[in-house]
Structure 1
Amino acid sequence: MALQWQESSNGVDWAALSALYRATPMGEKTEADLATAFGNSRYGCFVYDDGRLVGAGRALADGIDCSYICDVAVHPSHQGRGIGKDIVARLVERSRGHKKIILYAVPGTEPFYRKLGFKRMATAMAIFKDQAQAVERGLVDET
């Protein structure tokens, strides 16, 4: 498996990225929303296998205090090969120098991220556009 890695969002097929997220627990993300989100992120990572997009992730960062890694996904056909670990490692490396690196994970994936050095935060809180759906998906509790 000769993977190609790309950090720039130049030339990314947003439809392919949207399809990648639909194939994973990340769910529906529109092409326009992805172009905006990755365009506004300081760091991005795209992984291709023979020209096919099989992995991606991004980090929002301010250059000094906080880098927030999110939207890490690997196509189910390529999971278990270390691609997700490598995406996170590259984003962590790019984020070095920030006082904190925060990662947002889909429920159930926490053990994977613990192996990469992340710890659960006791004080993280969120307001979601659809709070009821966030509760239903296990992203937040009602308390």
Structure 2
Amino acid sequence: MTITWSNSRVGVDWQELAAVYRAAPLGDKNATDLEIVFSNSRFCCFASDGNRIVGAGRVLADGRDCAYLCDIAVLPSHQGLGLGKEIVAKLVAQSQSHAKIILYSVPGREPFYAKLGFLRMKTAMAIFRDRESALERGYLFEP
């Protein structure tokens, strides 16, 4: 296995990336939406094994104060090999000029991110379009 890394959105097969997110599993993100959100992100990271995307992540950022890592995904066949850790490390490195770097995690994956230096926040709050699903899946809880 030879992993190649890219920060460029040029030439990304968005259908293939959608399949990575479904398999990871990070939900059913359609290719058109992924192209939009990655295009609107300040930083991106793609890991490929040969010509196949096996991992990705992105950062929304304002250029100075806040950077937000999101959508970190690795195919199950490539999990446990350090790719997720490397994607996060590359995105954190690109975000170093920001005063704070925030990460949004799938419930249950917090220990993985804690090993990479992230700490829990007491004050983070959210509004989800599908509130009930977010509550059921553990993304939200009511006070």
What is the TM-score when the length of structure 1 is the normalising length?
Answer: 0.98
CA distance in 2, matches of 1:53, 1:90: 16
Residue 53, structure 1, aligned to residue 64, structure 2 = no
CA distance in 2, matches of 1:65, 1:125: 18
CA distance in 2, matches of 1:89, 1:34: 21
Q: Tell me, which stretches of 5 or more residues in structure 1 are unaligned?
A: none
Identity, in percent, stands at 60
CA distance in 2, matches of 1:124, 1:25: 23
Q: Tell me, which stretches of 5 or more residues in structure 2 are unaligned?
A: none
CA distance in 2, matches of 1:8, 1:16: 15
1:106 aligned partner: 106
Instruction: Report the residue type matching 1:104 in the other structure.
Output: Y
Instruction: Report the residue type matching 2:110 in the other structure.
Output: E
1:38/1:44 contact within 8 Å kept: yes
2:134 aligned partner: 134
1:57/1:87 contact within 8 Å kept: yes
**SS class of match (1:113):** helix
1:67/1:98 contact within 8 Å kept: yes
Number of equivalent positions: 143
What is the TM-score when the length of structure 2 is the normalising length?
Answer: 0.98
1:70 aligned partner: 70
**SS class of match (2:33):** helix
Instruction: Report the residue type matching 2:18 in the other structure.
Output: S
Pairs within 5 Å for 1:117-128: 117-128=117-128
CA distance in 2, matches of 1:2, 1:135: 39
